[in-house]
Structure 1
Amino acid sequence: MTYALPPLNALRAFEAAARHLSFKLAAHELHVTPAAVGQQVKALEARLGVQLFERLHKQLILTAAGQAYLPGISEGFRHIADATAQLKPAGTVMLQLGIHGAFDLRRLALAEFRNARADIGLRVLQPAGLHELVEGKVDLLIARGLGHHPGYRCDRVNQGSGLGDWLIAPEGTADCPEIVSFREWLRAQSAETSRADRNRPRLVGTVGS
């Protein structure tokens, strides 16, 4: 049997917005921007051919169609969450890390992180960029740039100023334990790399023979 389903991200955006009656609060829950939630809901309405919300000034109201749609969607997500919980090892939190395409994964020593933090299941998506972070496909991102993104915490990965690698996480989840653990790990790895670079012998050229 083939299920006729709208995109999952659009359904998540609708369900969260309907519970909170707020794109802003839904965005905080889903780790995306309010604009992204609004776009997902608008795309869902276009696909279904049904208006799900009345958008009033500073107020969001479910239409009759939205009220009828919400219970089944919420129940479906509860079933998915319950089924997933039965499969996932107790105590394990999944962390989705996005990395830009030019970054050398060997710098991160991810195998050591996984061994040290068996309670955190780490998955890597490369290449990934801000689009994947905004859409909620990754929880945090190592991106190349200047590190200025309103609504996101940006921590520099490498030393120096100007263009560089940054660890970027939504402000709403930047202090989650698993993200804090990875940030501290990354900071320690960066410090160790810097010490190794300083202690590495350098060849000194001589003039003449």
Structure 2
Amino acid sequence: MTYRLPSLNTLRAFEAAARHLSFKTAASELGVTAGAVSQQIKKLEASLGVILFRRLPNGLLLTDAGETYLPAITRIFDDLTRATEQIAPDINSRKFVIGVSPSVRSLLPESWPHRGEALNNHVRECIETTDINLLLNNELDCLIRAESGPYRDLTLVVIANTQSGPDLHFVCKPGTAECAQSKAILKDLARHLTAPRDRAADA
């Protein structure tokens, strides 16, 4: 059977942009430029003959077609992730070695990520560093820092900080931002950065 489908890159761009309602934030997640995301969306809309976004001065809105399309595309990517994990279980069987910059360390509980049980199955070791080369040389699985790039061909996920302080940059190799370890780390980081906490109690 021949499938007449849009390219995977255009669908990834759509899913990220629709989830964030921002080409810029989607670009950071995918490790490309906002212009590249915009071009992928235009290519997808042209191939479908359907407008998926309303471009507004202060952001994006999904059209009715975009609202209908997004849940189905999200399910497809979830299915692809599960299928990949089934045939390549090592992706999710090993624990991560993560790097954390000193400026990020000061925003987190003293014993993070080993405080509590949330990350025990996902993190083996945590190293204090800002060196992106450790990630490029496969000495780290991800690097968390408040400093900006450049990050070259790596994937960047921005974690919004609603407390006082900068947003965090979660940097990893392409293809690993959606694995179980990354998702668990991102979820735990977001929990610490969005919920008020007593640092003395966290220590």
- Output the TM-score relative to the length of structure 2: 0.48
Which of the two has higher C-alpha Rg? Answer: 1
Higher relative contact order structure (alpha carbons within 8 Å, sequence separation ≥ 6): 2
- Output the TM-score relative to the length of structure 1: 0.47
